[in-house]
Amino acid sequence: MGAFSFWHILIVAAVVILLFGRGKISELMGDVAKGIKSFKKGLSEDETTAAAPPPATPPRAIDHEPVEPVRVEKAEERSKVG
């Protein structure tokens, strides 16, 4: 009542071959192999693009005019003026 015996597996395999034929099974396995190869290729392409750093842009110089220092008045000086 537990596991399948050799005869069960053999009968299932024979039914699958009769239903699908040898040609369909080999085509299916070929398609599976192509899918695995393209999946691996896609993974390797992702790793190479992730490993390569983006090209560095040189720092740009910012042109600006010098700023005059701001004079901070003390509270005592403000009271004298007004």
Which tens digit of pLDDT belongs to each residue from 27-65? 888 899 999 999 998 888 776 666 666 667 777 777 777
The domain ranges of the chain are 21-52
| Contact (Cβ atoms closer than 8 angstroms) between residue 17 and residue 25 | yes
Q: What is the pTM of this model?
A: 0.38
